[in-house]
A and B are shown apart, each in its own frame.
Chain A
């Protein structure tokens, strides 16, 4: 139903999807930095760093946008999540701070940020755990009074942890697919092609096992599952035939469908099992203003984002130079 609260909930889901597709890939880059191996180890790490550099901050803002819209438009849902998921959210913040430190250190401090990069891998896992806790409906149905029951038991479940690991694998998969297009040599491209194929297999296996094994898993619409499966097959096929642009589209579509599937599975609830989008919504005037702000913001931001990605991500062989040694200006 196209009500105002539903539209804004949809926008929040879109912002989260954008964060997963863009920011998630930055975290996934961290996985490949950690797992760099073989004769081109240093080149792989260098590629990851250069791919993330120009877009890291912009990608990160999607999460801030989702959070701000959540507390503006659905304040009670935000407050409930913030209380019940205090611990994993705080741990996730620590991961985000460590990722930021790693980024600063690797870009400007001459390396040495690998410890931070490794530690920051907890962030995707914790993000997934929080999503899993919301999706499973545990937050809305706290049983018991104890500290453990209230603040830990809701998210420290096998299902939520599985979603956390799944998120990490998805992010690594996205990063590997994107990096095939940014690789500066054919060998490097092959490295990430194989990484993409292997992680895609892991994504599909985990998704299938997760939906089959967990009773708490949300009931995802069968159409969405088949579409995501089709996208997975198409992505694998494109990777096999080295059609990397097609593979990137397939990977993005697949992950978008996963996030969308989560959203639709818990509709009309914003916090399953019982807090609905309509019940959690802020007064109408707030929603209207938020929608106006989003539309006005989009008019400014989308062309700007297009410009940013066109400059740095369109050419097959990007020559972005690390910012520590900026090239002399052409005169």
Chain B
């Protein structure tokens, strides 16, 4: 394994691990606040139990997310010092803002978790709202930093240096809006349907008021986001078509530039005109293929394409489940009696998280061989330190262990139904 591959793998493991905690950290506080509000309104103890369970879940995941986030902020420099030396002054801004948002989140999560009988009910609920808002804000800032790596703006590149830098323009980079929209919706869809799906599964085995309440709140957050997600995906794909045509060509395995481009589903199975239609909303539009770029600027086409398809298939399934939930809600059916729906929902539980991982594979692998698209190659950003396979292996083993611990603790604290 080359040092570059080891460094990339270590970054991938760290990000893949952290993103799960980030996604849940964005959406779980919303669930916890909704449950507490229901409890304050109805005084139904089921909701108090749920609010406390979800608060504990948020706390556990936040504690782990805080350390895996710290690891990432160091790894940016430990693995990619050249990238940070060049880009630090430009993308430091969103990272600084993220730091403050994260700080706010940490403070009010402390108040929320340990303040049940120390502050007034209103102040307590407000602390929860602040956790939810600052959690979403910190996610948005980090995605903006990543968006800049895809569509770098706000500088001139001369003699290997950034000059005339404008960090504010950099934050308003064209990729920022589609990526932020897509990722934020993904967080709510994955977590909401994840929670609803787990409780659908538990309900199929034994119905309980507790599961019904959890499932309904999970759907309330997850279903609308899942239904809206294909629209944001369309916005994101059209921006990729314009700004990163090589990435789009890899996503859709389009080797030759052509008009009326088809979408390739499997070997020999094509939907004519579909890619032109999707990417530019015009069946005859010219879509640039991989041939538009030199061979050494291609990403790993097979992996990018596979990841993209996984994301699209699972995301579409979640949207269908979301629509189904909406239909049942409109007809005022009790979810608990709809066994087929509960089955479909249970299957959707892991889909959002797999989609998030696959989606980040598309974004990150699709940007290769660049770390700053079109400006700095990943190979030129890596640390000169040799033997990077060692830290990669250690971090991987450590994270596997930590994931196991978190899984056990979460099951004990959150999912297991209250003792009868």
Chain A positions within 8 Å of B, measured between CB atoms, are 53-58, 60-61, 63-65, 67-69, 71-73, 75-76, 78-83, 86, 89-90, 93-94, 96-101, 103-105, 107-109, 147, 151, 282-283, 285-286, 289-290, 293-294, 296-297, 300-301, 304-305, 307-308, 311-312, 320-321, 323-324, 326-327, 329-330
Interchain nearest-CB distance for B191 vs A (Å): 19
Docked-complex contact A290 and B93, CB < 8 angstroms: yes
The reply to whether the CB of B117 lies closer than 8 angstroms to some CB of chain A is yes
Q: Provide 16 A-B residue pairs closer than 8 Å at the C-beta atoms, listed in order of the A residue.
A: A54-B111, A82-B77, A89-B78, A104-B63, A104-B64, A107-B63, A290-B92, A294-B96, A297-B99, A297-B103, A301-B107, A311-B118, A312-B118, A320-B114, A324-B413, A327-B117
Residues B92 and A282 in contact, CB atoms below 8 Å apart: yes
Q: Contact: B74 with A326, CB < 8 Å?
A: no
Please give me the residue from chain B that is nearest to A65 by CB atom.
B99
Interface residue? B402 (CB, 8 A): yes
Q: A72 near B77 (CB under 8 angstroms)?
A: no
Q: Is the CB of A79 within 8 A of B81?
A: yes
Q: Quick check: is B391 within 8 A (CB to CB) of the other chain?
A: yes
B84 at the A/B interface (Cβ < 8 Å)?
yes
Beta-carbon contact of A312 and B110 below 8 Å: yes
Interface pair B89/A282, CB less than 8 Å apart: yes
- Contact A61:B108 (CB < 8 A) given known A72-B88, A109-B412: no
**Residue B379 at the chain A interface, CB threshold 8 Å:** no
CA distance A326 to B98 in the complex (A): 30
Q: Judge whether A104 and B165 touch: CB under 8 Å.
A: no
CB-nearest residue of chain B to A306: B107
**Contact B111–A108 (Cβ < 8 Å):** no
> Which of A54, A56, A96: most chain B Cβ within 10 A?
A54
Once A97-B402, A307-B111 are accepted as A-B contacts, the answer to whether A90 and B88 lie under 8 Å apart by CB is no
> When chains A and B are docked, how far (Å) is the Cα of A99 from the Cα of B113?
20
Q: Which applies to chain B's interface (DSSP): helix, strand, loop or mixed?
A: helix
Closest chain-A Cβ to B264's Cβ sits at a distance in Å of 42
B224 at the binding interface (Cβ < 8 Å): no
| Distance of A81 Cα from B88 Cα, bound (Å) | 14
Q: List the B side residues contacting A107 at CB < 8 Å.
A: 59, 63
B407 to chain A, nearest CB (A): 11
Q: Is the CB of B109 within 8 A of A57?
A: yes
CA of A287 to CA of B99 in the docked complex: distance in angstroms?
16
| A89 engages B74 (CB within 8 Å) | yes
Measured in the bound complex, the distance between the Cα atoms of B85 and A80 in whole Å is: 9
Interface of A is mostly: helix
Question: Given A68-B99, A293-B97, is A96 in contact with B119 using a C-beta cutoff of 8 Å?
Answer: no
The one of A71, A94, A282, A323 that contacts B114, using a Cβ cutoff of 8 Å: A323
**Interface-central residue, B52, B64, B99, by most chain A CB under 10 Å:** B99
> Does B76 belong to the interface (CB within 8 Å)?
yes
Interface centre among B59, B86, B97, B107 (most CB of A within 10 A): B107
User: Complex formed: what's the CA distance from A108 to B95 in Å?
Assistant: 30
- Asked whether any CB of chain A lies closer than 8 Å to the CB of B385, the reply is yes
Q: Does B350 contact A (CB under 8 A)?
A: no
- Of the stretches B65-73, B199-207, B304-312, B341-349, the one at the interface is B65-73
The distance in angstroms between the C-alpha atoms of A75 and B93, with both chains bound, is 13
Please report the C-alpha to C-alpha distance between residue A79 and residue B96 in the assembled complex, in whole angstroms. Answer: 17
Please tell me if the beta carbons of B56 and A147 are within 8 angstroms of each other in the complex: no
Set B59, B89, B401, B405: member contacting A323, Cβ < 8 A: B59
B168 and A105 within 8 A (CB): no
B: residues with CB less than 8 A from A are: 48, 52, 56, 59-60, 62-64, 66-71, 73-78, 81-82, 84-90, 92-93, 95-100, 102-104, 106-111, 113-119, 121, 165-168, 383-386, 391, 394-395, 398-399, 401-402, 405-406, 408-409, 412-413
- Minimum CB–CB distance for B3 against chain A, Å: 12
Name the residue on B nearest A50 (C-beta): B114
State the CA gap A105–B67 with chains docked (Å).
Answer: 14
- What total of A-B pairs shows CB separation below 8 Å? 225
Distance, CA A72 to CA B95, complexed state (A): 8
Q: How far is the CA of A108 from the CA of B408 in the complex (A)?
A: 10
Contacts of B384 in A (CB 8 A): 83
In contact, B73 and A82 (Cβ under 8 angstroms): no
Q: How far is the CA of A321 from the CA of B408 in the complex (A)?
A: 22
Q: A69 to B406, alpha carbons, bound, how many Å?
A: 31
List chain A residues, Cβ under 8 A from B383.
Answer: 82-83, 86
Contacts of B66 in A (CB 8 A): 57, 60-61, 100
Q: How far is the CB of A224 from chain B (nearest CB, A)?
A: 29
Residues of chain B within 8 A (CB-CB) of A81 are: 77
- Pick from B70, B84, B97, B395: contact of A71, CB under 8 Å: B84
Verify A308–B111 contact, CB threshold 8 A. yes
B89-A283 in contact (CB<8A) = yes
User: Could you tell me if B405 and A104 are in contact, using CB atoms closer than 8 angstroms?
Assistant: yes
Which residues of chain B come closer than 8 Å to A147, judged between CB atoms? 386
User: Given the complex of chains A and B, what is the CA–CA distance between A53 and B344 in angstroms?
Assistant: 39
Closest to B130 in A: A304
- Taking CB atoms, residues of chain B closer than 8 Å to A100 are 63-64, 66-68, 402
Whole-angstrom CA separation of A86 from B395 in the bound complex = 14
- Flag if A57 contacts B62 (CB, 8 Å): yes
B-chain residues with CB within 8 Å of residue A307 when the two chains form the complex: 107, 111
A218 to B203, CA, bound (A): 65
What's the least CB distance linking B402 to chain A, in Å?
Answer: 5
B398 touches A94 (CB 8 A): yes
Q: Which residues of A contact B95 (CB under 8 A)?
A: 68, 71-72
Also in contact, A96 and B67, with CB within 8 A (given A104-B406, A282-B89): yes
Contacts of A56 in B (CB 8 A): 63
Of the candidates A78, A93, A308, the one whose C-beta lies within 8 Å of that of B107 is A308
Chain A residue with the shortest CB-CB distance to B62: A57
B107 touches A304 (CB 8 A): yes
User: A104, A283, A311: which contacts B409 (Cβ < 8 A)?
Assistant: A104
Query: B175 to chain A: closest CB distance in Å?
Result: 20
Rounded to whole angstroms, the CA-CA distance of A293 and B385 in the bound complex is 33
Known A-B contacts: A94-B398, A282-B89. Give 6 more (CB < 8 A): A58-B106, A73-B89, A94-B394, A97-B71, A108-B413, A311-B119
* B96 in contact with A83 (CB, 8 Å): no
Nearest-Cβ distance from residue B179 to partner chain A, whole angstroms: 20
Cα distance, A294 to B103, chains bound together (Å):
12
How distant is the Cα of A296 from the Cα of B93 in the complex, in angstroms? 13
Docked CA distance A305–B108 (Å): 9
Among A54, A64, A103, which residue has its beta carbon within 8 angstroms of that of B73? A64
User: In the complex, what residue of chain A is closest to B14 when comparing beta carbons?
Assistant: A93
* In the A-B complex, the 5 residue pairs with the closest CB atoms: A72-B92, A82-B77, A100-B67, A75-B88, A282-B89
Query: Are A96 and B92 touching (Cβ within 8 A)?
Result: no
A86 neighbours in B (Cβ, 8 Å): 78, 383, 385, 391
Asked if B117 and A330 sit within 8 Å, CB to CB, the answer is yes
Contact at A329–B117, with CB atoms within 8 Å?
Answer: yes
Task: Decide if A93 touches B102 in the complex (CB within 8 Å).
Answer: no
- The residue on A at minimum CB distance from B121 is A329
